Chains A and B, each alone.
Chain A
């Protein structure tokens, strides 16, 4: 060859800020060759199953009309799925039924995948190795963007295909899929900004996760009160495309403009920050450890402080928001007399029944959300062990049992604390709007009635860690299954024995149904047995290193 093959970078035509993005993407796809398909199969599978399950259930015009009258005017449905267009058609019903799984799913998927390949890589130092090769400053961000967009498009394609397979109108199916994809793209952009802001992967996950929660809540409350609040949320814009209704396309432009704005911001932040740095600077800390840090329990509390604070604030606010909408639930009866027939009562009794049903669902929903905390908290054990930090503690006189019990105790006690906090949030939200403070005890008590289900999920994670160190991540699958049972169990007509796998299925639907002691005792017993199994298993196995 000639001497030009050795030209330096100054004259090399390839030295652009995004050089190397192809290599990065190939690496991302190689590393996630199992992870991405699992997300798509898990979420896509639930969506396909739901889309195919709906039409046979609503097989007469009367049944479709019934859905529009009942579910289509239910406050819970507004809060959880927004105001879906075309609820008097099969397409609208399918869209409404899958919306929670599809919309929240696509957002959480891109948040986890994008943080994993951007800030987490940078924090671990692996990205530094890559940046020392011929890789441009913006290449990692672009690779994250392409990856997030690809994942969102694939999920949207699965969704649209499954709608077409269920013989739904092509226009609506396409519009819905585009809305879903653009929602995922918008949250990809939000995630790319949050990974610039925080220097830790956990912090970035927290920021982006909070953005998902806020967007979802704002849309839900806006839909419930039928006001312009929905237009402050990307969820609202995606739904505003009115798939299976008017099918308007201008909200798509809104999503795209929002995405472009955030991407420009992310690019600006990348260009102005140091590698490994963020906007939130790390400050010096105390040179001595406080008295609290003497024991494995104290250390576990300290290590989980950030996680716990974030969840406490988030869940309390979630409670306040849900509590604040309780007083508006009875209004829905006034606007829809058929609702009274559904709840099988009239007048005050109907209002009370409706509020109770609403509360029962909120309690259950928040208890399932708390499963996310308890599993994240317990799996810190796994993270500590794999990073080699467990090893240094276990090289001191601290026994394996007391090390593991410290974190387990923090996780389970904190879960109980968060449950009380969620109940308090509901009561406070309710009181602020209604001016009545008499609901504190019933609402804290009601929320606590669902705690045993959350504890069983946490205890399962403890058992998995002790018995199957490499498989402890399976606990997240348990959270996903429990959430699916709660959201889709009835729709999919899952047989009882399948639904019975979820601990929540066994609990009384307080306050609609009376509190039952037996399932609570049984579930707490199961949780205790799982924790004991985990502690026993961890005394017998090798401590994993590296």
Chain B
């Protein structure tokens, strides 16, 4: 059953089209990575899901309801971490956590204590004195300290140090084990790779690819690095091989996953001394998706 379902959603601000016929489905109990560069429409999508923005057209369903009309009711079951956390400067971090959690309908005291400790946060400091990372922690603790069915996390680790990032990843996996659904927007690919069951890539307001990591990899290329007895000069003519680079007897090239067999056969004819191949990382997926801009 889908927890989030956006279909053909359009949202414009003046003349800019922020969401351009966007489709997105998040299934019950999954961690769904929502990847895209800055300005692709990630935060706009999340604000539509929160009922803060009204769509121009298309249908939006979240937790079985319409976010625009049923926002307060639906919000009993979700927790949100904004991408750019702004806190009330004259309230302490502890007060902010309590205010938000109570407004959400309740606070798990044990969880609050645990999260404060795990994220190493001093709750008695005024919000205006917190650093960016500490403001982010306040928002994280506030969201994680209350139990929800759905967590909307908008670039939740921006400003966190690697230690805290690891702590965050662990907390997300615990939530998943408890059966929660998580929409995790990010431009940090390693994070999405480590946590996500499925991934959607958004670009210029529309989802351009969606699927499990394996499915996305299937669509893409494998990187091969090989050393051969004779220089691999003829590789460029093998179908599916892209941009072979020769350095003496060493060759590096990408090959479409369904042409891997031909490429390896061509190599073995040359006498393979060493061979390394790795599936594409999300970085590479990403580069391909936006490759035209990167290489341009």
Contacts and interface: CB of A to CB of B under 8 A. Distances in A.
Interface stretch (A109-117, A279-287, A326-334, A526-534): A279-287
Contacts of B209: none
Interface string B56-98: 0000000000000001110110111010111111111011111
Interface string B90-109: 11101111111011110000
B10 interface: no
B274 interface: no
B73 A397 contact: yes
Interface of B is mostly: mixed
Interface in A274-302: 282-289, 293-296, 299, 302
B180 interface: no
A299 B98 CA distance: 11
A261 B88 CA distance: 36
A159 B119 CA distance: 60
A200 B103 CA distance: 27
B94 A289 contact: yes
B38 interface: no
Given A394-B50, A546-B84, A285 B124 contact: yes
Contacts of A247: none
A200 B89 contact: yes
Nearest to B69: A539
Interface stretch (A185-193, A357-365, A384-392): A384-392
B217 interface: no
Contact of A391 (B54, B82, B99, B123): B82
Given A285-B91, A286-B124, A306-B90, A393 B103 contact: yes
A399 interface: yes
A343 to B, nearest CB: 50
A545 interface: yes
Nearest to B50: A395
A438 interface: no
A289 B82 contact: no
Contacts of B139: 392
A542 interface: yes
Given A286-B94, A397-B103, A392 B82 contact: yes
Interface residues of A, number: 38
A394 B71 contact: yes
Nearest to B73: A397
A388 B123 contact: no
A396 interface: yes
B288 interface: no
A394 B54 CA distance: 14
B102 A399 contact: no
Interface string A510-531: 0000000000000000000000
B128 interface: yes
Given A285-B91, A397-B104, A399-B72, A391 B128 contact: no
Nearest to A289: B98
B99 A293 contact: yes
Contact of A388 (B71, B84, B94, B128): B84
A295 to B, nearest CB: 8
A288 B98 contact: yes
A395 B94 contact: no
A543 interface: yes
B47 A543 contact: yes
A303 interface: yes
24 contacts: A199-B128, A284-B92, A285-B91, A287-B123, A288-B95, A288-B123, A293-B98, A293-B102, A295-B103, A299-B99, A388-B82, A388-B84, A388-B85, A388-B86, A389-B88, A394-B52, A394-B71, A395-B75, A395-B80, A396-B103, A398-B75, A398-B103, A400-B71, A545-B52
Given A200-B128, A293-B102, A392-B85, 5 more contacts: A394-B51, A395-B78, A396-B75, A542-B54, A546-B84
Interface of B: 43, 47, 50-54, 71-73, 75-76, 78-80, 82, 84-92, 94-100, 102-105, 123-126, 128-129, 139, 142, 152
